[in-house]
Structure 1
Amino acid sequence: MLQKFQNHINSNLPFLIGKKLLLATSGGIDSMVLLQLCHLLKLDIRVAHCNFQLRGNESDEDEKFVKYQCEMMDVLLFVNRFDTKKFAEQQKLSIQVVARNLRYEWFNTLLINNDYDYILTAHHLDDSLETFLINFTRGSGLDGLTGIPQQNANIVRPLLAFSRNEIEAFAKENNIQWREDSSNASDTYLRNKLRHNVIPVLKELNPSLLDSFENTISNLQQAKSLGNDASQMVYKQVVSEEDTIKIDIAKVLKFQNHKAYLYQWLSNYGFTDWNAVYDLIKAQSGKQVFSETHILLKDRNHLILFPKQNENERMSFSVKKEQKEVKFPLKMAFCNVADISVQTTNTIFVDEEKLHFPLEIKRWHEGDFFYPIGMNGKKKLSKFFKDEKYSLLDKANTWLLCSDNQIVWVIGKRQDERFKVTETTTQILKINYTP
């Protein structure tokens, strides 16, 4: 297996040679074999071990075992203990999901802080088969049926070309020690049920199951590649990327498999309720679907994708009297002038004596109103937006320039009548906004 592993690295993963590698090591047979193989090939390795404190003394013994093995090999070791149950309760997520999130967040922190290059995990061919079957039973597209990827960004899985039987044989032949996780014997989790009860039957029906599975994965990956190529070609025809991602509904509906294209384009933005996404095409304008990070909006003839506002975008920003320019959150310039020149939506002139500094740049809120220049009386911003046919995206991107909570300017749109220059004005302030 050592020679096969070396050939696999040289042929398929040569970028690992000479790089700083962080091995995720639990103490189980898979990770201990990977550690030994990398050590024998003299790869530049160090080890990271997570103690999730889920199995009492057994978890602590795993930690001690990994420490001892790393000392024997003279390999640098990082250990982190997590109160996993507490995190799961706080975040209202399953133990498995929380453990995975904690593990990879810590691994990435180690990479960044120590300038390491890649994380290596010990997933193997049987793990990939189990993942395939899990996704198959739950209902999945091609992404879920192409197994575990050999590389995902800075995470590399160099044992995916090897079966569990090969790993066990190498461990026994080379007297490699490992720790057994007692939870692996339980059928509480779906993965264990498949491992203990389903896959043995499949292997009995087809002794070459893993070879057949590798061929299937290869075929599915090629089909996925064809789908990606088609998706990119259609994307260029129906999607525009100016300020936001806009999907032309009429154009995308010309394709019979438009749902597949929407999934391909939007899956990376965290959407999970795909029926809601697909139904958005025929929904009323203004309907939205949310992911944790993004909003997909139906706006007349388009689906518009944009990120949710973060906390910084909801903050207000002050402008002092002596300040000549603002660079964030908008680019604006302030200067005193003697006369009024051409006023546009992006340039206004105000009576400086009517202003109370510091001014404030902020987002609009429901109930806000102003006195649109050239009109008699006040108008709610919500009514102004409706009259101007603003989309929800337009509203979300609107900023206000205010003085003592009074709107001076709906920036880039309309000035307020109360602050305009009159015949009695002695100090004129020119304010310019650069989109």
Structure 2
Amino acid sequence: MVLQEFKNHIKTNFPALLQGPLLLACSGGIDSVVLAHLCALSELDFALAHCNFKLRGAASDADEEFVRELAVKLDKKVYVTTFDTNAYIASNKVSLQIAARELRYQWFNNIRDQDGFLTVLTAHQADDNLETFLINLSRGTGVDGLTGIPAETNSATRPMLPFTRAQILTYATTGKIVWREDGTNAETKYLRNSIRHNIVPLLKELHPTFLKNFENTQKYLQQTAVLADNHIKQVQKELFVHKGDLVEISIPRLQQYLPTKSYIYALLKDFGFTEWEDVLGLLTAVSGKEIHSKTHRLLKDRDVLLLQTRKETPMDSYDIALEGESSKLPIRLQLTEVTAMEEISSDAIYVDKDKLVFPLQLRKKREGDVFYPFGLKGKKKLSKFFKDEKIDVISKEAQWLLCSGDKIVWVVGRRADNRFKIERTTANILKIKLLH
């Protein structure tokens, strides 16, 4: 019965798997071994992949040998690797569970990409889904954490999710399928194991169809999550104003969406932020206040929030030679001697070459910078120029200055300095162009 249900499930929900090739993650435990047998009997094109985390001494090596023998029995290719898991935990400061997950999925994905596998098959089943739900519930997660293990992602497919642990055990014992038992699965010091052995049995005793009822409830949650996701995408279109590599979010408009904290979470959760009270606090913070995730920064600038991908800190300054295009700069500049002024635009300036001291320097703003804006009389603090031009904080940080010695020649792309302008006595004209 399980075999036929599995075949029907693949044909109905994952027809692409019939084309293969597939990479099947096999630990040697009952779930992945049964999945391997079901795939073989369904005539799917697959290979096995086994990770030896070197955490249980001889038992880990015995698991590896078992999977190698299973591959021979099923006449399938097998990939095997070992990890120094404890060293990874120490260097990355993560838990054992996270370390194992990161290591194995990185390896699986590398094999998939290198050898052309369609997807990675994992043996997560219905009881795993319930346990994950309870874990996320205990951690105070949002709706996304309660919708369960996804049946399919860009990197993995989980065709065993409709089947319970009891169904899998019955199928394995009836079919005399041999598997390996991981002794640590019985240790309740791990949260998942504690939930599996102490909580799930009690829940199942409450109602004979508890697991089926839970699956139905989770489907409703998934449908609700889809509706909410569609709404948030529409709100993002209305609120997120893209300006180059920045996203600008109007605070007054954001505050019109209630409850604001819930909208902030939904709008920004995919950018890695976790300290939601701090994010909410930005709405009333002074300009310049910012918070960071691992991948993004969020900054308050007057009545907007500015969202930007975090970048590597650039060098303090770059030297620029006289001729040609400077290819090693963070921006592309071309310096060319010309006989007369040609195009006039914000991306090109013409200066008196003889007033320059080479090499020129390209750098970011510094405290106390002043320049003489072209077209105006006298000098001006660079900070005052930025304020008058209504340049946001992140754009100020990103602004490049072309300098000759300690003098600003060009606020690149915005305004040239009057001290280097072309005059009647100019003998040599230098064109400096910003290339895009």
Q: Give distance in 2, aligned partners of 1:271 and 1:103.
A: 25
* 3-state secondary structure, aligned to 2:208: coil
- Answer with 54-63 or 118-127: which moved more: 54-63
For residue 305 of structure 2, what is the aligned residue in structure 1?
303
Checking the alignment, whether the CA contact within 8 Å between 2:133 and 2:147 is kept in structure 1 is yes
Q: Give distance in 2, aligned partners of 1:291 and 1:433.
A: 32
Are the structure 2 counterparts of residues 303 and 163 from structure 1 closer, same or farther at C-alpha, using a change threshold of 3 Å? same
Letter in 2 for 1:271: F
| 1:209-228 mapped onto 2 (5 Å cutoff) | 209-228=210-229
Checking the alignment, whether the CA contact within 8 Å between 1:123 and 1:159 is kept in structure 2 is yes
TM-score (norm 1): 0.91
For residue 278 of structure 1, what is the aligned residue in structure 2?
280
* 3-state secondary structure, aligned to 1:286: coil
Letter in 2 for 1:53: K
Q: CA deviation at 1:154?
A: 2.3
For residue 264 of structure 1, what is the aligned residue in structure 2?
266
Q: CA deviation at 1:405?
A: 6.9
Checking the alignment, whether the CA contact within 8 Å between 2:50 and 2:80 is kept in structure 1 is yes
Are the structure 2 counterparts of residues 5 and 349 from structure 1 closer, same or farther at C-alpha, using a change threshold of 3 Å? same
CA offset digits 1:50-85 (Å, max 9, x no partner):
111111111111111111111222211111111111
Q: Give distance in 2, aligned partners of 1:379 and 1:254.
A: 39
Q: Give distance in 2, aligned partners of 1:53 and 1:377.
A: 71
Residue 7 of structure 1 pairs with residue 18 of structure 2: no
TM-score (norm 2): 0.91
Q: CA deviation at 1:380?
A: 6.2
Q: Give distance in 2, aligned partners of 1:77 and 1:407.
A: 63
For residue 147 of structure 1, what is the aligned residue in structure 2?
148
Q: Give distance in 2, aligned partners of 1:358 and 1:19.
A: 59
CA offset digits 1:89-141 (Å, max 9, x no partner):
11112121111111111111111211222011111010000010011111111
For residue 99 of structure 2, what is the aligned residue in structure 1?
98
Aligned pair count reads: 433
For residue 369 of structure 1, what is the aligned residue in structure 2?
369
Checking the alignment, whether the CA contact within 8 Å between 1:367 and 1:380 is kept in structure 2 is no
Checking the alignment, whether the CA contact within 8 Å between 2:348 and 2:433 is kept in structure 1 is yes
Q: CA deviation at 1:367?
A: 3.9
Return 5+ residue gaps in structure 1 as ranges: none
For residue 122 of structure 1, what is the aligned residue in structure 2?
123
Aligned-residue identity in percent: 44
Q: Give distance in 1, aligned partners of 2:192 and 2:13.
A: 28
Checking the alignment, whether the CA contact within 8 Å between 1:238 and 1:251 is kept in structure 2 is yes
- Answer with 213-222 or 110-119: which moved more: 110-119
Are the structure 2 counterparts of residues 383 and 258 from structure 1 closer, same or farther at C-alpha, using a change threshold of 3 Å? same
For residue 163 of structure 1, what is the aligned residue in structure 2?
164
For residue 27 of structure 1, what is the aligned residue in structure 2?
28
| 1:162-241 mapped onto 2 (5 Å cutoff) | 162-241=163-242
For residue 137 of structure 1, what is the aligned residue in structure 2?
138
CA offset digits 1:213-241 (Å, max 9, x no partner):
11100110111111122222322322222
Return 5+ residue gaps in structure 2 as ranges: none
Letter in 1 for 2:312: N
Are the structure 2 counterparts of residues 241 and 354 from structure 1 closer, same or farther at C-alpha, using a change threshold of 3 Å? same
Checking the alignment, whether the CA contact within 8 Å between 2:365 and 2:400 is kept in structure 1 is no
Q: Give distance in 2, aligned partners of 1:270 and 1:130.
A: 24
Residue 75 of structure 1 pairs with residue 79 of structure 2: no
Q: Give distance in 1, aligned partners of 2:362 and 2:197.
A: 62
Residue 420 of structure 1 pairs with residue 418 of structure 2: no
Q: CA RMSD in A?
A: 2.5
